[in-house]
């Protein structure tokens, strides 16, 4: 799969944070390239023993809020892949915009058997308060 400017990436976890996103991508990625969207049929939960989330199948009414990032270069896409690591792979998804339109995108999901969901919802504000300072000090 070719990744780059034509790829819509759906961010639903730590990459929702502007500081984390800038550190991973290598430059600020602001509102001009981010569009709020939801991914239906999934829940966002904390990975067992970790500070980051994963997606798990949900009920029919479940949806995960996030943002679609567009216009990233091939090098920036490669930085995303490196950040997500070997436990995550990209999957195509259909995303819903606030106006009801749908767009195609790619989302990082755990590879089979690599990570265990805790069942505990993952919360961006809690991550920013409890884990972000330490994560920003770690090498990426």
Residue-wise pLDDT tens digits, 63-99: 999 999 998 999 999 999 999 999 999 999 999 999 9
**pLDDT over 90, % of the chain:** 85
Report whether 53 contacts 45 (CB < 8 A).
Answer: yes
Q: Residue 30's pLDDT band (boundaries 50, 70, 90)?
A: confident
Q: H or E segment at 56?
A: strand 53-57
CA distance linking residue 140 with residue 112, whole number of Å: 23
Query: Residue 92: beta bridge partners?
Result: 106
How much is the pLDDT for 33?
Answer: 85
Q: Which CATH number applies to 9-131: 3.20.20.60, 3.30.70.360, 3.40.50.720, 3.10.490.10?
A: 3.10.490.10
**pLDDT exceeds 60 at position 121:** yes
Element (H, E) at 77: helix 74-84
pLDDT band at 31 (very low <50, low <70, confident <90, very high): confident
Query: Distance between CA atoms of 87 and 16, rounded to whole angstroms?
Result: 19
Helical axes 74-84 vs 18-25, angle rounded to 10°: 110
More confident residue, 139 or 41: 41
* pTM (2 d.p.): 0.92
Higher pLDDT pick, 3 / 77: 77
Distance, CA of 82 to chain centre: 13
Is residue 93 classed exposed, middle or buried when 0-12, 13-18 and 19+ CB atoms within 10 A define those classes? buried
């Amino acid at each position: 799969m070719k990744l780059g400017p034509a790829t819509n990436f759906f961010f639903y976890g730590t990459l929702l944070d502007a500081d984390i996103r800038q550190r991973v991508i290598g430059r600020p990625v602001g509102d001009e390239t981010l569009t709020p969207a939801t991914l239906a049929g999934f829940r966002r939960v904390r990975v067992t023993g970790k500070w980051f989330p994963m997606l798990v199948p949900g009920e029919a009414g479940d949806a995960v809020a996030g943002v679609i990032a567009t216009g990233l270069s091939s090098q920036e896409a490669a930085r995303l892949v490196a950040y997500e690591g070997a436990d995550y792979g990209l999957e195509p998804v259909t995303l819903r915009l606030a106006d009801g339109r749908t767009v195609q995108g790619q989302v990082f999901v755990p590879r089979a058997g690599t990570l265990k969901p805790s069942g505990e919802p993952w919360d961006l504000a809690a991550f920013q308060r409890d884990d972000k300072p330490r994560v920003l000090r770690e090498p990426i």
